[in-house]
Amino acid sequence: MNENAVITAALEHHFGDEPILRQLDLSVPRGCVYGLLGKNGSGKTTLIRLLLGMLEPTSGRCEVLGKNPQHDSLAIRSRVGYVPQETDLDPSMTVEGTLRFVSGFYPGTWQSSRAEELLDRFELARRKRVAQLSGGQRARLALITALSFDPELLILDEPTAGLDALVRRDVIETLIEYVSAEERTVFLCSHLLNEVEMLADRVGIIDGGQMLMESSVDRLKADLCRVSAKFEAPPVRNDLHGLVSCRHLGERWRIAAWAHSESEREALMAALRRQGARDLSLDESSLESIFVDLVGRHAHA
Partner 1 sequence: MKLRLENASTQPIYRQIVDQLRLQVARGALPGGHRLPSVRELALELRINPNTVARAYSELEREGVVVRQQGRGVFVKEQPQKLPAAQRRRVLEGHLDELLVVAWKLGVGTDELIERLATRASEFFPGDQSKEPAP
Q: Which residues bind partner 1 (CB under 8 A)?
A: 31-33, 169, 172-173, 176-177, 179-180, 194, 197-201, 217-218, 221-222, 282, 284-287, 289
User: SS3 for the chain, per residue?
Assistant: CCCEEEEEEEEEEEECCEEEEEEEEEEEECCCEEEEECCCCCCHHHHHHHHCCCCCCCEEEEEECCECCCCCHHHHHCCEEEECCCCCCCCCCEHHHHHHHHHCCCCCCCCHHHHHHHHHHCCCCCCCEHHHCCHHHHHHHHHHHHHCCCCCEEEEECCCCCCCHHHHHHHHHHHHHHHHCCCCEEEEECCCHHHHHHHCCEEEEEECCEEEEEEEHHHHHHHEEEEEEECCCCCCHHHCCCEEEEEEECCEEEEEEECCCHHHHHHHHHHHHHCCCEEEEECCCCHHHHHHHHHCCCCCC
Residue 128 or 221 having the CB closest to partner 1 = 221
Residue 93 or 179 having the CB closest to partner 1 = 179
Residue 120 or 183 having the CB closest to partner 1 = 183
Residue 102 or 227 having the CB closest to partner 1 = 227
**Minimal distance, residue 221 CB to partner 1, in Å:** 6
Residue 86 or 218 having the CB closest to partner 1 = 218
**Minimal distance, residue 218 CB to partner 1, in Å:** 4
**Minimal distance, residue 201 CB to partner 1, in Å:** 6
**Minimal distance, residue 195 CB to partner 1, in Å:** 8
**Minimal distance, residue 179 CB to partner 1, in Å:** 6
Residue 161 or 222 having the CB closest to partner 1 = 222
**Minimal distance, residue 74 CB to partner 1, in Å:** 30
> What are the CA-CA distances from residue 52 to residues 44, 122, 126, 162 (Å)?
13, 27, 29, 24
Residue 50 or 224 having the CB closest to partner 1 = 224
**Minimal distance, residue 5 CB to partner 1, in Å:** 14
Q: In whole angstroms, what is the distance from residue 243 CA to residue 167 CA?
A: 40
